């Protein structure tokens, strides 16, 4: 867990409900700017909206910098307010207008947290010897990225790497699509994807590139025991696939078999099939942990 030295400096006295923050309150103005990538980059903060995301964020000490909610929502989610207060996180009530300013969904659920960025260097993630890793290479669509992150969490991945010119993992739609999973695993940002692949392999992980044109059939690889060892899966964008140099850098390029007449699977479906094939093989097979191999 990242330790954040700023938390101690924040005021954690709850503002009385009668003085609701408006869209013009300076802290709301500052938080609203986090809808923009540039401001997320410069401040190292991002927004997580809705009770599920807020709950998962609060479960990681030091992540939530500030909690906002309408009076109704702060009453409804009293356990989240209590967790915030226990963690010395300031909680402030919002007017409905201010909530609209801080949220992007049509029907916001009244509560939103300002969070400190949570990504870790790839070596930190690898030190924990994850047996399953997903690498999102050049994936631009935030909904797709968040969905794959959620699926990776469900399949038991220990880390997800946003590599190259991928979407910002702190993009609001990506955070929402991850349904809280953003906070469950080690998030890594790697600007240099081929270097990240080299680090993954050096840590003992087999690197597999998911590709509709791959030379290796997923079922055949599974039958041959090729998934029963720590694995990093590389996924590219649905529109452009994996960059050729990244596909080449992998140990194998693996295609999900197409039994019917569909020309391809969409990204979320392909990632689910690959990650769950690994999850099943890792649990069933004579897997060797990264730590044991190192």
Among 42, 165, 266, 294, binds a copy of itself (CB under 8 A): 266
Gyration radius of the chain over CA positions: 21
**Rounded-to-integer distance, Cα 207 and Cα 189, Å:** 17
Q: What is the DSSP string of 63-103?
A: -EEEEEE-HHHHHHTHHHHHHHHHTT--EEEB-HHHHHHH-
Kindly state whether residue 153 participates in binding a copy of itself, applying the rule CB under 8 A: yes
The Cα 90–Cα 27 span in angstroms is 11
Should residue 180 be labelled a site residue for a copy of itself when binding is judged by CB under 8 A? Answer: yes
- The rounded distance, in Å, linking the Cα atoms of 233 and 161 is 10
Our finding on whether 155 is near a copy of itself (CB under 8 A) is yes
The residues in 182-221 that bind a copy of itself, with binding defined as CB under 8 A, are 184-185, 219
The nearest distance, CB 30 to a copy of itself, in angstroms, is 31
Give CA–CA dist 152/93, Å, rounded.
35
**Residue 31 or 149 having the CB closest to a copy of itself:** 149
Tokens of 146: 């968040």
Span interacting with a copy of itself, options 15-23, 108-116, 173-181, 239-247, rule CB under 8 A? 173-181
Structure tokens belonging to residue 157: 């991945």
Report the SS3 class of residue 198: helix
Nearest C-alpha neighbor of 236 from the set 272, 269, 279, 267:
267
Minimal CA–CA distance to 116: which of 191, 60, 52, 37?
60
Residue 150, classified by CB atoms within 10 Å of its CB into exposed (0-12), middle (13-18) or buried (19+), is buried
Which residues in 245-264 contact a copy of itself (CB under 8 A)? 256-264
Shortest distance (Å) from residue 214 CB to a copy of itself? 15
Q: Is 271 in the site for a copy of itself (CB under 8 A)?
A: yes
DSSP at 47: E
Q: Is 181 in the site for a copy of itself (CB under 8 A)?
A: yes
CB of 158 to a copy of itself, least distance (A): 8
Strands 206-210 and 216-217: unpaired
179 forms part of the interface with a copy of itself (CB under 8 A): yes
Shorter beta-carbon distance to a copy of itself: residue 9 or 259: 259
* Near a copy of itself by CB under 8 A: residue from 74, 99, 232, 265: 265
Taking a C-beta distance cutoff of 8 angstroms, is the pair 66, 113 a contact?
A: yes
- Sole binder of a copy of itself in the list 147, 171, 206, 237 (CB under 8 A): 147
Compute CA 140 distance to the chain's CA centroid, rounded to the nearest angstrom: 14
**Piece of the chain touching a copy of itself by CB under 8 A; list 30-38, 79-87, 192-200, 266-274:** 266-274
CB 178 within 8 A of CB 239: no
Q: How many residues bind a copy of itself (CB under 8 A)?
A: 38
Least gap, CB of 72 to a copy of itself (angstroms): 22
Q: Least distance to a copy of itself from the beta carbon of 264, Å? A: 7
CB of 224 to a copy of itself, least distance (A): 14
> Applying CB under 8 A, does 156 fall inside the site for a copy of itself?
yes
Q: Which residues of this protein are in contact with a copy of itself, per CB under 8 A?
A: 52, 147, 150-157, 179-181, 184-185, 219, 256-266, 268-273, 276, 279-280, 283-284
């Amino acid at each position: 867990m990242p330790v954040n030295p700023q938390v101690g400096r924040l005021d954690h006295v709850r503002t009385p409900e009668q003085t609701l923050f408006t869209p013009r309150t300076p802290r709301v103005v500052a938080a609203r700017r986090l809808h923009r990538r540039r401001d997320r980059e410069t401040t190292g903060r991002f927004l997580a909206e809705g009770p599920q995301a807020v709950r998962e964020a609060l479960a990681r000490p030091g992540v939530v910098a500030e909690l906002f909610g309408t009076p109704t929502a702060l009453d409804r989610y009293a356990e989240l307010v209590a967790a915030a207060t226990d963690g010395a996180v300031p909680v402030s009530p919002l007017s409905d207008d201010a909530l609209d300013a801080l949220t992007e969904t049509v029907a916001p659920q009244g509560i939103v947290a300002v969070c400190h960025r949570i990504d870790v260097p790839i070596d930190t993630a690898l030190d924990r010897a994850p047996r399953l890793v997903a690498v999102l290479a050049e994936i631009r669509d935030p909904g797709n990225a968040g969905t794959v992150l959620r699926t990776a969490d469900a399949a038991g991945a220990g880390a997800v790497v946003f590599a190259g010119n991928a979407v910002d993992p702190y993009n609001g739609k990506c955070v929402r699509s991850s349904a809280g999973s953003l906070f469950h695993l080690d998030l890594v940002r790697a600007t240099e994807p081929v270097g990240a692949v080299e680090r993954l392999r050096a840590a003992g992980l087999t690197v597999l590139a998911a590709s509709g044109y791959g030379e290796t059939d997923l079922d055949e690889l599974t039958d041959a025991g090729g998934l029963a060892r720590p694995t990093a899966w590389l996924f590219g964008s649905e529109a452009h696939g994996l960059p050729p140099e990244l596909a080449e850098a992998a140990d194998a390029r693996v295609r999900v078999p197409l039994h019917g007449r569909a020309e391809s699977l969409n990204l979320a479906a392909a990632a689910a099939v690959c990650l769950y094939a690994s999850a099943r093989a890792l649990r069933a097979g004579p897997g060797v942990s990264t730590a044991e191999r190192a």
